[in-house]
Each structure stands twice: as C-alpha cells, then as structure tokens.
Amino acid sequence: MPIIRVELLEGRTKEQKQAFAKAVTDSFVATCGGTPQSVQVVFQHVAPEDWAASGQLLSEKTAAPAAKQPA
C-alpha cells in the first residue's frame, strides 16, 4: 500500500487537494501499477513562518502570487 506524503504551504482549498490527490493517484497507478484503492495521499500543511528557502522564512519574503511560492 503506497503512502504519498505531500508537504505544502497552508491555504489550498479542499477542491485543489482533491484534484491533486486524484491526479497523483492516477499517475501512480499508471506508472507503478496497483489499484487506486491501494494509494493513500497525506497532506502535511506548513505555515509560512515554519518554512524557509534561501535562508529566509517565507513569511518574511515579499508577498508573491501563490503559484510562484514553493509547494
């Protein structure tokens, strides 16, 4: 039973997470085999003040569009 863990910044909608989980599940099954029922996806939400990139907390960086922030 594969478990796929995803760390991402807080703020994604339920619909975004559902679409992502389906896409990842479908991709895993197509690539590695198995059934969709065997695939589990776990989302780990991280606050911007708990994530740093290039030595700087994301909460301290200039606000950027969500699409450009690291996931």
Q: Catalytic residue numbers?
A: 2
Classify burial at 25, counting beta carbons within 10 Å of its beta carbon; exposed 0-12, middle 13-18, buried 19 or more: buried
Q: Which two tokens stand for residue 5?
A: 């863990």
HSE-CB at 30 with a 13 A cutoff on CA atoms is: 6
